[in-house]
Structure 1
Amino acid sequence: MSNRAVSVNTVERVERDVMPLVKLMTFAAWALLAIGLVLSLVSLESFSDRNTTLMVGIGFMVGSVHIYVIRTAIHLVHSRNVSKGE
């Protein structure tokens, strides 16, 4: 009976390509910002909280900022991991 030492070093890191996601989120953020601006400017005459179109437009603009911040965080984390791996 013999003992064999086998080293298993076949662990490969699978890098995910996040650039398509980053581009999609950038496009979505800009599109939502444009929709929000149009909705807000169309119904600006009665500036109150009862103006549903204005409130929805402001919501689209705030949402676009959130999407862009999340996109930036994803991009920065991925860039940092790539630079650490090299």
Structure 2
Amino acid sequence: MKKSSFHFRTVSTCFLLSHIAGQTRLDYNLQGMMILGSWAIGNMVRGGIGASRTTGETRAFHQMNLYRKSVKSLSCRLSLLACDQRVAWK
């Protein structure tokens, strides 16, 4: 009887610790995506301003940077959406 009680407490403690570690990882991912998304939006604004004020190859560079950051921003939004859905399921 004592052996099974010890086993149950050990398993429940491990489950609780894994849940806490999982929530911490989820929080880190959420913060990272928010930072990456903010960085992408800032670069999109900067690229848009740069593209509107320049011509030639420099303008093409700023446009390419704007397109690349819009894809990165979309990736962040999708990750945040998936993260929100995982939190809602718990």
What is the TM-score normalised by the length of structure 2?
Answer: 0.63
Task: Give unpaired runs (5+ residues) of structure 1.
Answer: 82-86
What are the residue-to-residue correspondences of 1:41-80 with 2, within 5 Å? 41-44=49-52, 51-80=60-89
1:71 Cα offset (Å): 2.2
Kindly indicate whether the alpha-carbon contact (under 8 Å) linking 1:40 and 1:58 is maintained by their aligned counterparts in 2: no
Q: Which is richer in helix?
A: 2
CA shift digits 1:16-57 (9 cap, x unpaired) = 22223212211210221111221122113659xx81221111
How many pairs were matched up? 77
**Structure 1 ranges of 4+ moved more than 4 A:** none
Counterpart check, 1:39 vs 2:50:
no
Larger radius of gyration: 1
Task: Give unpaired runs (5+ residues) of structure 2.
Answer: none
RMSD: 2.8
Q: Measure, in 1, the Cα distance between the counterparts of 2:48 and 2:79.
A: 24
RCO higher in structure (CA 8 A, sep ≥6): 1
1:78 Cα offset (Å): 3.0
